[in-house]
A and B are shown apart, each in its own frame.
Chain A
Amino acid sequence: MNLPDKSEQVAKDKLREMQCKFNPLSRCDGSVMYCQGATVVISAVLGPVEVKTQNLSIDGSYLECNYRPKAGLPQVKERIREAAVRDVLELALLSEAYPRSKMSLQIQELEDRGSIDACALNSACLAMLIGGLPLKCSFAAVHCIINEQGEYILDPDQRETEHERASFTFAFDSLEGNLLLVQTKGSFKIAEFNDVESLCRSASAEILQFYRTSISNYHCRRSDTKTSEEQMET
C-alpha cells in the first residue's frame, strides 16, 4: 500500500479539512462526493422506488443500504459498515412518509485514508439531504483514536491509525446532540470514553455547520447562475 507522507500537520483535536461536491452522478436522485482530508467517498440515494413484495411494509419505507469497497468483493468488514450505517439511518429516516416503498443508499469508497466509517456516515447524510429524502434529523459522525502514548487524536490519518490503542466512532443527531451510534475497538477506561465522547460531540457541531454551509452554497450558486443567464439573454 502506498501511504502518503504527511505534509500538512493537522492539530490532534481538529477535524481534517472537509470538502464535498453535490450531484456528480446524473442517474440517481441525489449523490455526493465527500472527502475528509484525503479519504474520499461517493454516495448515492434513490427513492422512494418500488420494493419487492418480501420487503414491502405498510408502516414505512424499506431502507436498502450498501457499502462497496474499492477493490474486491464486499467482505465481512463491509457488512459491518453497512450495518452501522443502516442503524443510524433507521433512526434518522422518516420512513412513515412513504410506506410500501424503498429508499436505497449506495456508498462507494474511492480512497481510504483513515476514518472511513465516519466519512461514509457523513456522506450518507449529505446524500439524503441533497436527494430530498425525508429525515427526522440529520446526523454527523466522528472518529477518534487513543494512540499508544495516551493522546486523543481526532479524525486520524491512516498513518496515525497504525499506532492506535483504542478507536471510537460516534454519531450524533442534529436536534439535541443525542448519541445515535457508538462503535469501539480496543481497550480504554470509562473516563477516557467520556472524554472522547465530549470531544467528538463538539467536533460534530463543526460537521453539521459544514453541511449547512455547503448546501446553502450549492443552492445559492444555482440561483446565481440562473440570474446571470437571464441577464445574458436580455
Chain B
Amino acid sequence: MFMNTGFFEPGKTKTERKFIQQAVKQSQRLDGRKSGESRDVQLTFGGEYGSVVVSLGDTKVMAQVTCDMGTPTTSRPNEGKLQLYVTLAGVSYLDSVQKTHDKRSLTLNSLLERTFRTSRCVDLESLCVASELHVWCIRVDVNVLNHDGNLYDASTVAVLAALMHFRRPDVTFTDGELRTYTEKERDMIPLLFLHYPVSVTYCIYTSNFQPFVDPTLLEENTADSTIILSFNSYQELCTLNAGGTVPTDVRTIMQCARSAANRCKAMVTFIRKALDQDEQQCLEGSKRNTGMLGLMEKSSQKLSFKTLMKGDQKQQQHKTEDMDLEVEAKPNPKLEADEEENADNVENVESDQPAQEEELPMDDSGWLPQEPEPTIDPTKQSPGKPKRKRNKGNKKKQ
C-alpha cells in the first residue's frame, strides 16, 4: 500500500489522456460499450420511506428524504421548502483529494439545485399547512458511496426516486393547534410532483466530435467537454450545463439533447415501474424487512433498468454520422440495421440515411412530437416549446 494511492484518480495523467483520445477516435470504449450506450441502472429501496440506493455500474449513490415542520420564508409564505445536500465526504473518499469548495462538489450541488429546486419539480404549495406559520420542510441528503464516473446522473436518479418513494405524515391544523398523525393513525401522504426530471451526461473529446454518453471516471477525467442535459418525462428541458475546451457544433448538442430526452423519459418510466414493484413487495409483507439488504447479492432480484425495460415496446433510434443507435428494448439486435421507426414512436423523427446527415436542418421542428418529416424551414420557430433554462441560445441555420 503506497502512501497516496487512494488519491489517484484514473484519468489525470498524460498517458491516460492520450490513450483515451486514441480510443475515442476509433469509437472504442474500455468497457466495450458503444458511444450511445449507458450502463445499467439498479435501484434498491430501503425500509424507510424516501430511502434509495442507485447503482450506475460501479457508481453508487444513496439518497434519503426526511421532513420536518418549519416556518416558511417571508417572501413565500404559502410554500414549503425543499433542500438538497450532497456530501462527497465519507465512504467515497472524494474529499481527501480535494480542498473544500472544490469544483466537483459545487457543480454537483448546483446542478441538483437547478434540476429540482429551480425547475419547481415538487409542488411546494401543497406542503403548506398554515400560511405564514407552518410548512413542511423536505430535506434530501445525497451520500455518494462510490464514484466511478457520472455522479450527476446517478444523483438525479437517486433524488427523484427518493422523492417519489417518500411519504410524509398527515397533519391537521385546527384552531391554532397543529396535530401530526403517526403512521398507525393515518396513512402517509406522498409528495406532489409537477414534473419528473432526470439528467444525462455526455463527454466530448478533441479527437472525435462524437459525444459519449454515461462516462466512467477514467473517461470523465480525460474528457475535454462535458454536456449535462436534464429532461423531464414530458421531454421538456430542465437544465443544461455545457462547458469545456472543445469547440462544439450546436448540431451536436441538439442531437445529444434529442437522445437525452428519450433516455430521460425511459428512465422516469423505469423509476415508476421500480416503485410499483417495491410497493407490491411491501404489500406482500416480504419487502419491508429486507430493505437495504437488497444490496446484498443473495437477496431477491434487483430492480435494474435492463430487466424492467426489457419488454418495453418503445424503441428509440438516433442516428448521427457515427453515433450508434441507442437500443432501449434489449432483445432486438436487428434494430442496428433497422432505420425505420416503430409506429408507437412519436417523439423522435429521423428518417434520413446516415450519409445524408449533414443536410439535417438545424431548426427546432425535430423536437415537436407527431411531426412526420423534419421540414427544412430555417425561419420557423416552434411556439409551444417550454424552456426552463438555456445557456446557449443561438442556433446556427444551414
Contact = CB atoms under 8 A, between A and B. Distances in A.
Interface stretch (A63-71, A190-198, A224-232): A63-71
A25 interface: yes
Interface stretch (A42-50, A135-143, A160-168, A203-211): A42-50
B183 A2 contact: yes
B145 A49 contact: no
Interface in A1-31: 1-2, 4-5, 7-8, 19, 21, 24-29, 31
B51 A49 contact: no
A38 B143 contact: no
Given A38-B293, A111-B292, A46 B96 contact: yes
Contacts, number: 134
Interface string A107-139: 110110100000000000000000010000000
B53 interface: yes
A48 B62 contact: no
B297 interface: yes
B51 A111 contact: yes
Interface string B117-144: 0000000000000000000000101010
Contact of A26 (B90, B146, B285, B290): B146
A95 interface: no
A154 interface: no
A5 to B, nearest CB: 7
Of A108, A110, A113, which is in contact with the most chain B CB atoms at under 10 Å from its CB?
A110
Given A49-B4, A68-B143, A19 B296 contact: yes
Contacts of A40: 291-293, 295
B93 interface: yes
B288 A27 contact: no
A50 B3 contact: yes
Interface residues of A, number: 41
A156 to B, nearest CB: 15
Contact of A5 (B5, B96, B288): B288
B49 to A, nearest CB: 5
Interface in B39-79: 46-49, 51, 53, 58, 60, 62, 64-66
Given A25-B91, A27-B92, A50-B4, A110 B60 contact: no
Categorize the interface residue count of chain B. Answer: 35 or more
Of A8, A21, A26, A101, which is in contact with the most chain B CB atoms at under 10 Å from its CB?
A26
Contact of B7 (A49, A66, A68, A107): A49
A26 B3 CA distance: 18
Contact of B145 (A4, A8, A25): A25
A49 B3 contact: yes
A68 B143 CA distance: 9
A72 interface: yes
A169 interface: no
B224 interface: no
Contacts of A44: 91-93
A33 interface: yes
Contacts of A33: 295-296
Given A26-B58, A35-B296, A111 B47 contact: yes
Contact of A25 (B7, B60, B64): B60
A28 B90 CA distance: 11
Nearest to B55: A24
A72 B66 contact: yes
Interface in A88-116: 101, 104, 106-108, 110-111, 113
A101 B1 CA distance: 11
B4 to A, nearest CB: 6
A25 B288 contact: no
A2 B282 CA distance: 12
Contacts of A21: 295-297
A46 to B, nearest CB: 4
A143 B3 CA distance: 36
Interface string B1-32: 10111110100000000000000000000000
B318 interface: no
A44 B147 CA distance: 13
B48 A2 contact: yes
B347 interface: no
B391 interface: no
Of A46, A104, A111, which is in contact with the most chain B CB atoms at under 10 Å from its CB?
A111
B224 to A, nearest CB: 23
B169 to A, nearest CB: 10
Interface in A41-88: 42-44, 46-50, 66, 68, 70-72
A128 B285 CA distance: 36
B296 A68 contact: no
B351 interface: no
Given A48-B1, A111-B46, A7 B292 contact: no
- 4 smallest CB-CB distances across A and B, nearest first, come from A40-B292, A111-B292, A4-B288, A71-B64
15 contacts: A2-B48, A24-B60, A24-B146, A24-B295, A27-B9, A33-B296, A42-B145, A46-B96, A48-B3, A49-B7, A68-B89, A108-B91, A110-B295, A111-B46, A113-B47
Given A25-B60, A108-B143, 8 more contacts: A1-B48, A2-B288, A4-B289, A38-B293, A44-B91, A50-B3, A70-B64, A108-B90
Interface of B: 1, 3-7, 9, 46-49, 51, 53, 58, 60, 62, 64-66, 87, 89-93, 96, 139, 141, 143, 145-148, 183, 285-286, 288-293, 295-298
